[in-house]
Amino acid sequence: MSDKLVNAQGLLQELFTSENKSTCSAKKVGCVIFHRIENNKFEILSTGWNDSIGPCKCTELFEKQNGTWFYKNNGKGMLECEMNAHKKFSEKYEVHAEMMALTNLNKMNLGNHSLQLEILSTYSSCINCTKHLLYNGISRAFYVHSFDDIVDVKRMYTILETPLIQITKASDINANR
């Protein structure tokens, strides 16, 4: 098991560090899966950020300016993308932060553990990631910003009786024990 123990501020710091590794031009997204040891003391189990498979990262191919997507054109200026070009690339090649964190968590081979897993994410998870987080036994989820499908995602958490909590500061993670 890792020996990375932090307080709530340390969790938030780890989130920002993960976000900054994101290779998606749409959003910088990171997340941290952790275990609560006691009040304001957490063990970080795994982290993730938006990344992609294949030779090219999103940030090498695309740039978003004022809501419009452009292709990066090898330094020869920028070409505006057709509609949905990034969405199509993303669906095929991009891996969400939560999926990376779950993969890293499963690599740790915690086995038949009884740890209460919690997650802190930049955005509330998309429907697909939410499904996999809940399947993997996440018992509480914290997020900073709401993502597009927050209404459906809230319903999923409610049905599974799992708290989903928006935070504005590190201490909110302590307040919700």
153 binds Zn ion (CB under 5 A): no
126 binds Zn ion (CB under 5 A): yes
Sign of dihedral through CA atoms 51, 56, 59, 61?
Answer: negative
Task: Return the structure tokens found at 159.
Answer: 């049905």
Question: Using CB under 5 A, which of 29, 32, 58, 120 touches Zn ion?
Answer: 58
> With CB under 5 A as the contact rule, which of the stretches 20-28, 30-38, 137-145, 168-176 interacts with Zn ion?
20-28
**Least distance (Å) between residue 147 CB and Zn ion:** 8
Question: Using CB under 5 A, which of 15, 24, 81, 119 touches Zn ion?
Answer: 24
Question: Using CB under 5 A, which of 96, 100, 117, 133 touches Zn ion?
Answer: 96
**Least distance (Å) between residue 140 CB and Zn ion:** 18
The runs of H, that is alpha helices, within 20-163 are 58-61, 85-93, 97-107, 127-135, 150-159
Mapping DSSP to helix (H, G, I), strand (E, B) and coil, where does residue 169 land? coil
Can you count the helices (H) and strands (E) in the chain? 7, 11
- Backbone φ, ψ for residue 23 (5° rounding): -110, 25
Nearer to Zn ion, 8 or 100 (CB): 100
